[in-house]
Amino acid sequence: MSTGSRPLALPPNVSHDAFSRFISACEVIVGRENIHMVTSKEDLADGSYCEPPKTHDPHHVVEQDYFVASAVMNPRSVSEVQELVQLANEYRIPLWPTSIGRNSGYGGAALRLRGSVVIDLGKHMNRVLEVNVDAAYAVVEPGVTFAGLHEYLVKNGLREKLWIDISDVGGGSVMGNTLERGVGYTPYGDHWMMHCGMEVILPSGELLRTSMGALPQNPRTSVHPIHQDAGNKYWQLFPFGFGPYNDGLFSQSNLEIVTKIGMWLMPNPGGFQAYQISLPRDEDIHQAVDIIQPLRLQMIIQNVLTLRHILLDAAMLGSKTNYTSDTEKPLNEAELDAITKNLNLG
């Protein structure tokens, strides 16, 4: 890619000359090898779940290049993210941050403003920064997946002491799933409730640490960047003690780029027992919910519960042609009943 290359889509109200100067300045920050400019439709490959595209919407329902990036950048550190944000302010360039991009339910990593610059935090910023066994928490960067955190615990001999929760797919980002208010299945399954302490880059490029992280561990006597300071030792322990609890501003919003997050892990309970209850008719769900509600309110059932329709499992176990010869029409009640009987499910 040359500095003068013209992207397939420029950011709104940005000239080619200004964009070229912006790219040249970005090369100084992250290196030319960490910038990919989208110059033609040939650059747009829909990829796969494990390798989703960052350039465009992999599940496009309009033209493939309708939601397309002008460039994708791979910063290697918090300071590089800060510099990119400050530079984008200077040139009025819209940014679209992403971590892993594997949440296909939300359209993957797809940007929603044509010509935006995608900041891919998952390629290089993918470290487990800390695991504290006594306090049962981890601090991770955006690119750490559930599988990656699990492998870290196994590699470091911590799997018998700490468990992580997971939201269906192990290849998703721990941070991304938490900020999207995802849920799993253990008592620690509400990931947002189990996060504690965030480090974010504000739209101005300033760095903010939430909760107890806003209180320095030691008085600042050096001139190195704030993100290099050791976090307060209570940062991942208690979210409410110092300053306002403003984490909700940084969940599913465009007010920040999150670069670190603390997650409470589950002390190994020694085992678990899973249950699946099948209900033969849709109308049975009303009574089931009435039974479950007081048990959840009293924390007798601590896990997150999932109510599934038969078609979710049917789609996992076969295509529509496995269940009907008429693939043009929705399945009727009789066909749904036949599927439940065939799969021995509710």
Question: For residue 73, what are its two tokens?
Answer: 């950048």
243 band by pLDDT with thresholds 50, 70 and 90: low
Q: Which architecture, in CATH terms, is 128-267?
A: 2-Layer Sandwich (3.30)
Give the pLDDT confidence score for residue 101 in this predicted structure: 84
Percent with pLDDT over 90 in the chain: 50
Range ranked top by mean pLDDT from 134-138, 229-233, 275-279: 134-138
**CATH number of the structural domain 16-120:** 3.30.43.10
**pLDDT attached to residue 280:** 83
- Tallying the residues shown for the chain, one arrives at 346
- Per-residue pLDDT, 223: 57
Q: What is the pLDDT of residue 236?
A: 93
Residue 206: its pLDDT value, please? 92
From residue 17, alpha-carbon distances to 4, 5, 7, 91 in Å are 8, 10, 12, 11
What sign results for the dihedral spanned by CA atoms 236, 230, 144, 158?
A: negative
Smallest CA-to-CA distance from 286 within 312, 307, 300 is with: 307
Rg (CA), the chain: 23
C-alpha distances (whole Å) from 101 to each of 55, 115, 138, 208 are 11, 18, 21, 24
- Average pLDDT, stretch 288-306? 89
Domain ranges, ordered by start, for the chain:
16-120, 128-267, 284-343
Return d(Cα 69, Cα 297) in angstroms, integer.
46
In this structure, what token pair is assigned to residue 243? Answer: 């300053």
* The pLDDT of residue 220: 63
For 252-270, write each residue's pLDDT tens digit: 888 999 999 999 999 998 8
What is the mean predicted confidence (pLDDT) over 121-144?
96
Q: What is the mean pLDDT of residues 160-174?
A: 85
E strands present in 57-127? 71-73, 95-98, 117-120
Cα dihedral 260, 261, 267, 273 sign: negative
Say what the pTM is. 0.87
